[in-house]
Structure 1
């Protein structure tokens, strides 16, 4: 089962980074592989979102339930999608010298077999591995350089 862990120390505060990660509606604006993002339900502590991911001929939909501790953590669980197992976690840690540390961990296993399963697995591995860097770039666009 693939497990990815990524983190970055950034000059923006934890609340700003949390807001970017939690802003699902705007994913299609800055993730080239995101073809659509829809909020199914939303409260202060939980968000259910459906995202359409695509690259070349590979396309699939993923629905997740995100349990949130505002400005601190987002836990991601699978509602629907081509996965046998899927669990992720974002952490946003303020740093005493300013800025924050953003961490992303995810475990997943594709439920599809054959060439389609391999293609979806490769695409999702690429997406998951690039998320932290993509949010750092987005923070620079949205918040500017401190």
Structure 2
């Protein structure tokens, strides 16, 4: 049993791919959540570790955005293709080859409680693989905390913009690797 535990730990350290998924019922509408998650140019104002967020171009519901992210001691930037489907989804994909082999972040929004129009179900998913083993090691040490801070930052921003939630949030499902 100890050997199996050590093998799993070693696999987690050497595996450069990481993912996180959370599904929650929250006390804000899908439109409210969508408006914050789609507001990429303002990420630098509320998203932890984001020091720069720039929209490079927009064509219909597709845009390209450059983000600068600081995970001390490392600060990096990357460009993502972002697909917007109002008010249901914001999906960002990065394949620019400098920092990540790939990065995919998806936010899906669905109506919440039938009796409460100010509720929705968010399905948040992030999956990535760093090019560098150094970045992978840093991610392994801090990954859980960083993705949860990021997720909470969006909900906090919705709260700042729209006020108190109509119901308390409830975790429906969570996965991490």
Q: TM-score, normalised by structure 2?
A: 0.73
Cross-structure match for 1:8? 24
RCO higher in structure (CA 8 A, sep ≥6): 2
1:1-146 map, 5 Å: 1-80=17-96, 81-95=98-112, 96-98=114-116, 99-113=119-133, 115-119=134-138, 122=141, 126-145=145-164, 146=166
Deviations 1:85-140 (A, max 9, x none): 32221101112232101111122111113x34423565566433332221111111
CA contact (8 A) 1:6 1:129 kept: no
Q: Is the 8 A contact 1:8 1:132 kept in 2?
A: no
Aligned-pair distance for 1:43? 3.5
1:138 is paired with a residue whose SS is helix
CA drift at 1:59: 0.7
Report the 3-state secondary structure (helix = DSSP H, G, I; strand = E; otherwise coil) of the residue aligned with 2:115: coil
Q: Which string of whole-angstrom CA distances, capped at 9 and with x for unpartnered residues, describes residues 54-91 of structure 1?
A: 13221111211111211001222114241113222110
Which blocks of at least 5 consecutive residues in structure 2 are unaligned?
A: 1-16, 167-177
Aligned residues: 145
SS at match of 2:23: strand
Larger radius of gyration: 2
Q: TM-score, normalized by length of structure 1?
A: 0.87
